[in-house]
Amino acid sequence: MHVIAVTNQKGGVGKTTTALAIAAELALGGQRVLAVDLDPQGNLGMGLGVAEDDGASAYEVLSERSTLAEASRSVPAPGLERLKLVPAGPRLARAESELVGQIGFDELLKRALAAHGEADVAVLDCPPSLGALTINAVGAADLVVSPVQCEFFSARGVVKLVEIVELVRNRRNPDLRFLVVPTLYDKRNNICRAVLAELRRSFGHEVAQTTVGIDTRVRESQAKGLPVGLYAPRCRAAKSYRDLADEVRARLTREVRHAQAA
Ligand SMILES: Nc1ncnc2c1ncn2[C@@H]1O[C@H](COP(=O)(O)OP(=O)(O)OP(=O)(O)O)[C@@H](O)[C@H]1O
Ligand SMILES: [Mg+2]
């Protein structure tokens, strides 16, 4: 199974939107996808139109009370039969404080994913912080996708993300891939363009070719509980996210070749 962690400690940069879109595109393309909501805000489940219930959720998985299969739900949207959701659940906010300090706390999700045979790819939506939940996600990932808003202050945040990716590469997973995704991009704005150019200079091929512009259809789709590619397949954001899903697929496939060659 491939594992994609969508993460950036900065809030409101498009993590959940990107996780939703990638999960939906991969499922529409025929893969069995497990989307895991690791943000106590529960936006991923909302964006997929799954109502909150009291069943097992990401919290029960991380506290080893449930398997991922037991915690997963079907998604109501037509065409997304191959997508399953593990919701955040009402108790996930406790996990941050409960997990830290336990031996091996940072590998709980990795182990749960390794034991789950029912998906080809997992997409993990992280909270806007670098706590226990995000560390679990990055530690389990083959590919870290970081949506970055092209604003002046974002560049520093990317440096922090790169440091974390480097740490994980050095200590645990030398093959970890990293993909920065410019989101909420406004090509008419000089600062946006300058920040994107700087990102490409600094991080080269680790910045996606695809940029995702501001598109009101994105907000509408989330209010309807549908990924944007299903709500308005012809809008600009839907097209960008299809292109991004192709880039993600290419990176995951290269990784397989890399692993086989080793
Ligand atoms: N391309 C886009 N065009 C217009 N609005 C967008 C776009 N991408 C995201 N948004 C909106 O911006 C807001 C933040 O997006 P999102 O929830 O995906 O970010 P996030 O990084 O997951 O936030 P948080 O850190 O709170 O989890 C949402 O209201 C979302 O609908
Ligand atoms: Mg979010």
The span from the first CA to the last CA of the chain, in angstroms, equals 18
Which residues have CB less than 5 Å away from ligand 2 (the ion)?
15-16, 43
- Beta bridge pairs of residue 2: 121
Compute, in angstroms, the gap from residue 184 CA to the centroid of ligand 1.
Answer: 8
Residue type, 222: Q
Task: Using alpha carbons, list the distances in angstroms from residue 158 to 108, 152, 177, 205, 220.
Answer: 26, 11, 15, 14, 29
Q: pLDDT tens digits for 147-189?
A: 999 887 787 788 889 999 999 999 999 999 999 999 999 999 9
Which residues, judged by CB distance below 6 Å to any ligand atom, belong to the binding site of ligand 1? 11-17, 39, 41, 43, 128, 183-184, 212, 214-215, 218-219, 222, 237
Question: How is residue 237 written in tokens?
Answer: 């954001």
Pairwise CA distance, residues 188 & 190, whole Å: 6
Instruction: Count CB neighbours of 29 within 10 A.
Output: 13
Residues 6+ apart with CB under 8 A from 35: 19, 20, 23, 44, 48, 83, 84, 85, 86, 122, 123, 125
Domains of the chain: 2-145+214-261 (3.40.50.300)
pLDDT digits (tens, 9 = 90+) for 103-130: 899 999 999 999 999 999 999 999 999 9
* Closest protein CA for atom 13 of ligand 1: 12
pTM higher than 0.85: yes
